[in-house]
Structure 1
Amino acid sequence: MIFDVWKDIQNKKLTPVYLLLGEEAFLMQETLRYIVQASLLEEEKDFNLSMYDMEDTAIETAIEDAETLPFMGERRVVVIKNPVFLTSEKKKEKVEHGIEKLEQYLHSPAPYTVVVFVAPYEKLDERKKITKLLKKQATVLEMKSLSDADTIKWMVNVARETQVELEGDAVNQLLLLTAGDLMVIHQELQKLSTYVGEGGIVTVDTVNLLVARTLEQNIFDLIDHVIHKRSKHALQIFYDLLKNNEEPIKILSLLVNQFRLILQVKELSTVGYGQQQIATTVKVHPFRVKLALQQAKLFQTEELAKILMELAEADYEMKTGKKDKQLLIELFLLKLFNEK
């Protein structure tokens, strides 16, 4: 588990080479922060922390740095970003990389340097010799979306670090309003902690007061009101979005995304996929899958397919200017009210 690795890093149980692999940007950012924090004192960072982007710099330069003794400190940290040579991407690279130099280093890494490969990719090219060698020699940490349980555990820990308490209902509401986005949750927790102060308690009322609903969450609520025939509430959300200068075409796009997600999770759950499996397959946070599963129960597959066809028609009419943009969405919502 990523939390166990963080604990080891904080206890200065470091390894010479790390490979951070995956598309969960916040976990990537936090893991890198912990590694740097455990390796270097604040005053050492100017001398002993280096970052190289492999889209602009040859790997040999980074390796030469890794082999250089630290200056006025015990360790050096070399961060190697975007190692595209580990993937199967065919795009033309600006620089040529001397992979042999990297291979030599991996066989015998410098004991005084921590090298961190930051690979923001879904997967690497496992056929490549260098990929196999790196995965064998490095501590590989996969940056995947956390499960609901792990997200909640992490939220409680973050709150504890700032010496505040999170009520159970507040945790659930914060998850709901942020759609499980770790970066947003972290920012909101900092704000909530500052508001209640050290030793304070974050309640569901505090969350509702301070945490803004995302556009995606408003769309989810809008659809939920439609499903439960709360037409007044649904239209109110729509008109509020327009008042906040949200473009009808963007609202329509998010309606398409949400209904497509509902259809996907319905079909995948029907063939036996669990929440985490669905999240991995459709590449969204497990919490969004959980919410979509709740809504999917209230639709037949044929209904969802029909709704997506109607949204596609509305999108065409909106982009070709055949009907007023606001009117198109109003007509779509009214039709849904009558059908549900």
Structure 2
Amino acid sequence: MPALRSFAVVDRFLAELGTPAMKPGYVLLGDEPFLYQRARSGVLGQLVPSDLRDFCLHDLELGSDLTIFDALNLAQTPSLMAPFQVLFVRGLKALYGRGAKKEEFAALDKYFRAPNPGALLLFVADHLQLPADLRRLEREDKERYDRIRETLGEHCGIVELQAVAEPDAIAWVQQTAAGRGVQIDADAARELVDALAGQMMTIAQELEKLILYVSEPARVESTVTAKPNTITLADVETMVLAAKQRSLYELTDAISGRDRARSLLLLRGLLNASDGGEDSAIGHLYMLARTFRQMLILHEKNVRDSRAVWNVLWPGFRMPPFAADDLIAQARRYRSRGELAGALRLIARADQEIRSSPVDKSLVLERLVLDLASPGKVHQHNEAA
């Protein structure tokens, strides 16, 4: 499979693992969930034996209950049950909050001058959004990006999880389908990527369904024009555009309209249409966070016409054209920026809970949707922040 530029940074990172070139720490920089999952799965596959996972894999979240000193202490302490430890440290934004954090950075500097060779630290900086073209980086994210490179970048490798460029997304769809023995027409691949606004996690899920769909004998027998093991534009329109594409915006419409019963019903439809696994749950949360961030910008810029959307939302962060008017209307249902910010905090809390391996991820999502559709919960979480 030919290399794609958007995946090159993650692929180079994975190629370093287990070699003398591997660094004692890396920063996974950016909020692209598909590339993050690609990096995480590669780390687990190479460095975390499945039978030792409970002893050598640590998912940590910086905050009031855990500090960077705790994380470094854990990394420095050899495990009695496993020869190597992998630590994913989320919530990196806390390290760059108010205050100089001189003691924290001094502790990091001390650790990396004599790191534990039996541990790998992976800092997850998903509070930044990196576009496919870094020259289009927002000023606030640029400042955060530079600050991380100036501090942790002195000791750690930087793995930039940028938004996947549209040509690479299309090529990935074609290559992935070919690897499964399925051909996808160029128009169908382009429509799949465009219809799902380039969101790779969702694209991967929908491609899997399309591959299974065109492999079914009943699909070929139902129409004389269908070719076996070939995904056509009509297949994408049938399987994706008619159902999945609009379901997320229907969900946010119900949430912004405070219709809890309809919100829950639409969420269950989304869950039933996916495999319900970790990737799916993270994908749903990511799309909710993305949509609420879009609404926040539309609200702040007082956008009232879909033609203005293209001026305030940058390429790679725009919704599909069919959803523009709906999303503008949904954003105007919120009375203040604080309400939308409170909704994003609820989503972030659910994301943290999902990644801490709850017994039932669907229950986490259901509780989130009920909270988002309850004005009191959104106000309460905004005031608490």
The residue correspondences of 1:1-340 to structure 2 (distance < 5 A) are 1-11=5-15, 12=17, 13=19, 14-55=22-63, 56-87=65-96, 89-90=97-98, 98-122=104-128, 123=141, 125=144, 132-197=150-215, 200-211=229-240, 212-215=243-246, 256=304, 258-262=306-310, 264=311, 282-285=313-316, 288=318
Q: Give 3-state SS (helix, strand or coil) of 1:172's partner.
A: helix
Q: Give 3-state SS (helix, strand or coil) of 1:110's partner.
A: coil
User: C-alpha separation between the residues in 1 aligned to 2:80 and 2:6?
Assistant: 31
Identity in percent: 24
Quick check: which has more Rg, 1 or 2? 1
Give the aligned residue type for 1:136: E
The answer to whether the 8 A contact 1:179-1:217 is kept is no
Q: Give 3-state SS (helix, strand or coil) of 2:122's partner.
A: strand
Calculate the TM-score normalised by the size of structure 1: 0.59
The answer to whether the 8 A contact 1:48-1:71 is kept is no
Aligned-residue offset at 1:138 = 1.1
Structure 1 residues 216, 74: CA separation in 2 closer, same or farther (over 3 Å shift)?
same
Root-mean-square deviation (CA), in Å?
A: 4.1
Calculate the TM-score normalised by the size of structure 2: 0.53
User: C-alpha separation between the residues in 1 aligned to 2:9 and 2:56?
Assistant: 23
Provide Cα deviations, 1:138-171, integer angstroms capped at 9, x if missing partner: 1112222121112222323433454433221210
Structure 1 residues 218, 47: CA separation in 2 closer, same or farther (over 3 Å shift)?
closer
Q: Give 3-state SS (helix, strand or coil) of 1:45's partner.
A: helix
Provide Cα deviations, 1:195-234, integer angstroms capped at 9, x if missing partner: 2349932222221221125339999xxxxxxxxxxxxxxx
Give the aligned residue type for 2:40: L
Q: Give 3-state SS (helix, strand or coil) of 2:52's partner.
A: helix
Q: Give 3-state SS (helix, strand or coil) of 2:151's partner.
A: helix
Number of paired residues?
247
Give the aligned residue type for 2:89: I
**Runs of 5+ unmatched residues, structure 1:** 220-243, 266-281, 296-306, 320-340
Q: Give 3-state SS (helix, strand or coil) of 2:123's partner.
A: strand
Structure 1 residues 73, 165: CA separation in 2 closer, same or farther (over 3 Å shift)?
farther
User: C-alpha separation between the residues in 1 aligned to 2:246 and 2:215?
Assistant: 29
Aligned-residue offset at 1:80 = 0.4
User: C-alpha separation between the residues in 1 aligned to 2:31 and 2:235?
Assistant: 31
User: C-alpha separation between the residues in 1 aligned to 2:11 and 2:114?
Assistant: 26
User: C-alpha separation between the residues in 1 aligned to 2:170 and 2:80?
Assistant: 41
